[in-house]
Copies of this chain bind each other. A is one copy, B any other.
């Protein structure tokens, strides 16, 4: 009871860190190292036991190696009579450029009408800071933490968490040995109603490269005599999906059927279709009813073609026959798909439709990411504690939702540590992750901090036997 009021007093102290580092840009790597050092220093100053864990190097496509940003681990409290939670977060961000269509400088946090705009504001800076503030809140009020709190903070999430899997495996019997529960807040609500997340889709990301002439050719001079790689590539991509139906054999067959229970659960979830349409600016979605939409967002696979490397992509005209073109596309993974099987299905299918073209060009299909989906048991005490904390702070029940995106680390934590995981989002449904004008509202930031404070208290009351 006392702490909710107390946390309110703490409100005005919280602030967002404006140092936003795009982890995909290798030129910014020194800044990323500084960012990790800043995060470590912050946790040290709060009295945590902090380590900057070296996770080795990254190999670049040109063969050069580059040091990965260290992973920050921290520990607050080590009372063996208390539960120990481990909070995971990341401090790197997606790329962003003002000219992509941002209304404000994406790298300069800007407060407009209670919304804090900036790249990474919601993904994942504010949630990480809210967890830090939750610990600070107990400290500021001279209250003992009800559970031991550990942090794992990385700087490569946006480019595939390179090195983190190995680090978790290496520290399974040390840093992670006394962890009871893992908490991830790298996601968002579905509506204005708070939510707990119990599943994510995985992702198989493919490169399909078609190579023909040894160099780009003038389309006037050579057009008509060579079989163009771009024509081949567009042709085979066009056979992968039609109006949302995946045409690659075996993909749809592997998907777990929608149960009646799920159907009923989806029916009860608060989801405003018109609002969703307005937000993304379309008149018509792939499906017109709520259950189909939620199911295809969360528990069915989808194919997205992201773009083509090697072709002409600038404004204006160029009369070129590109010599080597590489399509980037991905298939979101759901139970019971298996990335190794999907790799084979996609590779075999693309080669078979390519073979029908009888092209002398060379096709190479590579799966560069193969991340499994993750699914939790919503009946677990960890989720009961989450429901109670939401009730306490927001005075309502949370929606139980899944996430269409991929948080591969959830699956790794589950597979390596065997511990239970909960995803507890505080980001708004309209925060624009990975998109232009990403933001975090002050409301979600502050109430989210309170939620975390309350949650630590609820988790402390889970009976040890039920772990």
Residues of A within 8 A of B (CB): 24, 61, 95, 100-101, 159-160, 201, 203, 205, 212-228, 230-231, 234-235, 237-239, 241-244, 276, 280-287, 293, 296-297, 300-323, 328, 330, 332, 357-361, 368-369, 403-406, 432-437
A318 with B306: CB separation less than 8 A:
yes
- Are B215 and A435 interface neighbours, CB within 8 A? yes
Most buried by B among A222, A302, A405: A222
Residues of B contacting A213 in the complex (Cβ-Cβ under 8 angstroms) = 280-282
User: When A280-B217, A435-B218 are in contact, do A226 and B286 touch as well, CB less than 8 Å?
Assistant: yes
Q: Which 7 pairs of residues, A with B, have the shortest CB-CB distance?
A: A214-B281, A220-B405, A238-B238, A307-B312, A307-B311, A284-B360, A224-B296
Contact of A280 among B222, B241, B322, B434 (CB under 8 A): B222
A319 x B205 contact (CB < 8 A): yes
What is the CA–CA distance of A328 and B317 in the complex, to the nearest angstrom?
7
Do residues A224 and B404 form an inter-chain contact, with CB atoms below 8 A? yes
Chain B: CB-nearest residue to A100: B216
Q: How far is the CA of A308 from the CA of B314 in the complex (A)?
A: 8
**Cβ A305 vs Cβ B360 within 8 A:** no
Question: Using Cβ atoms and an 8 Å threshold, which residues of chain B touch A304?
Answer: 219, 223, 228, 230-231, 319-321
Instruction: Pick from B243, B287, B436: contact of A216, CB below 8 A.
Output: B436
Given A231-B241, A304-B223, A307-B230, A217 contacting B435 (CB threshold 8 A): yes
Query: Across the interface, which residues of B come within 8 angstroms of A322, CB to CB?
Result: 306-307
Q: Is the CB of A307 within 8 A of B313?
A: yes
Closest to A432 in B: B215
Q: Is the CB of A404 within 8 A of B221?
A: yes
Contact across chains for A308 and B311 when beta carbons are under 8 A apart = yes
Query: Are B403 and A332 in touch, CB under 8 angstroms?
Result: no
Bound complex: CA A313 to CA B287 (Å)? 29
How far is A337 from B322 in the complex, measured between Cα atoms in Å? 26
A218 is contacted by which of B282, B284, B293, B433 (Cβ under 8 Å)? B433
26 example contacts (A-B, Cβ-Cβ < 8 A) are as follows A95-B318, A159-B317, A205-B317, A213-B282, A214-B281, A215-B435, A216-B434, A217-B434, A218-B405, A218-B434, A219-B304, A221-B403, A221-B433, A222-B297, A222-B404, A223-B303, A224-B296, A225-B296, A227-B284, A282-B360, A304-B321, A306-B311, A306-B312, A306-B320, A319-B330, A319-B434
Given A316-B159, A406-B220, A226 and B332 touching (CB < 8 A)? no
Question: Could you tell me the distance in whole angstroms from the C-beta of A307 to the nearest C-beta in chain B?
Answer: 3
Residue of B nearest to A327 (CB): B234
Which of chain B's residues have a CB closer than 8 A to the CB of A235? 238, 242
Q: A222-B297, A227-B243, A434-B218 are in contact. Are A309 and B302 (CB under 8 A)?
A: no
Closest CB in chain B relative to A281 CB, distance in Å: 3
- Verify A225–B101 contact, CB threshold 8 A: no
Residues of B within 8 A of A225 (CB): 276, 285-287, 293, 296-297
A332 touches B280 (CB 8 A): no
Which of A225, A243, A403 has its CB near the most chain B CB atoms (within 10 A)?
A: A225
Q: Give Cα distance in the complex from A357 to B323, angstroms.
A: 30
Task: Check if A360 sits within 8 Å of B283, measured CB to CB.
Answer: yes
Other A-B pairs, 15, CB within 8 Å; known A205-B317, A231-B305, A306-B321: A203-B220, A212-B282, A213-B280, A214-B282, A215-B280, A215-B281, A221-B297, A221-B403, A225-B296, A238-B238, A305-B311, A306-B320, A307-B318, A309-B315, A317-B328
- Cα distance A239–B235 in the bound complex, in angstroms: 8
- Cβ A224 vs Cβ B316 within 8 A: no
CB distance from A156 to the nearest CB of B (A): 13
Cβ contact of A332, chosen from B201, B219, B320, cutoff 8 A: B219
**A239 to B231 alpha-carbon distance, docked (Å):** 10
Report chain B residues within 8 Å CB of A285: 225-227, 360
Give CA–CA (A384, B436) in the complex, Å.
Answer: 64
> Are B405 and A234 in contact, with the CB atoms below 8 A?
no
A184 to chain B, nearest CB (A): 15
* A452, chain B: closest CB distance, angstroms: 23
- A219–B212 Cα gap in the complex (Å)? 30
CA distance A303 to B281 in the complex (A): 33
